[in-house]
């Protein structure tokens, strides 16, 4: 059985927006038959946590250079590009 992947949800404070995006992604991936572990943090904490996750979804720009795939989470707030963002997340979870 494949190891369950971990997504890091980041926003400015690590609380409200990252929680909303986490819930939206969790529900959407569940509908697609996928589950994952979730972590949340402030954007400034991403660099120190990136090595422990498989994917980052951030609603704010990340200034640190990370080698983990990054999906822009703003789509979950505006609705613009949301389907593509979900497809990108699904693709990473299925790797």
The rounded distance, in Å, linking the Cα atoms of 15 and 13 is: 5
Centre a 10 Å sphere on the Cβ of residue 32 and count the other Cβ atoms it contains: 13
What was the pLDDT predicted at 63? 80
* Cα-trace Rg, the chain: 12
Model pTM? 0.94
Pairing state of beta strands 6-11 and 37-42?
A: parallel
pLDDT digits (tens, 9 = 90+) for 40-84: 999 999 999 999 999 999 999 998 789 999 999 999 999 999 999
- The domain limits of the chain are 6-94
Distances 35 to 31, 68, 75, 89, 94 between C-alpha atoms, Å: 10, 19, 20, 11, 10
Predicted confidence (pLDDT) at residue 36 exceeds the cutoff of 60: yes
Class of CATH domain 6-94: alpha beta
In sequence order, which residues have a C-beta less than 8 Å from that of residue 54 and are 6 or more positions away?
5, 6, 7, 68, 69, 92, 93
- Name the percent of the chain lying above pLDDT 90: 87
Say which residue, 38 or 1, is predicted with more confidence. 38
The rounded distance, in Å, linking the Cα atoms of 67 and 50 is: 8
């Amino acid at each position: 059985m494949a190891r369950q992947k971990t997504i890091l949800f980041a926003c400015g404070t690590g609380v409200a927006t990252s929680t909303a995006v986490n819930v939206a992604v969790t529900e959407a991936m569940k509908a697609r038959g996928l589950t994952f572990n979730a972590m949340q943090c402030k954007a400034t904490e991403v660099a120190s946590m990136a090595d422990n996750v498989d994917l980052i979804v951030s609603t704010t720009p990340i200034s640190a250079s990370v080698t983990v795939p990054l999906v822009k989470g703003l789509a979950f707030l505006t609705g613009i590009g949301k389907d593509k963002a979900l497809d990108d997340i699904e693709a990473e979870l299925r790797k």
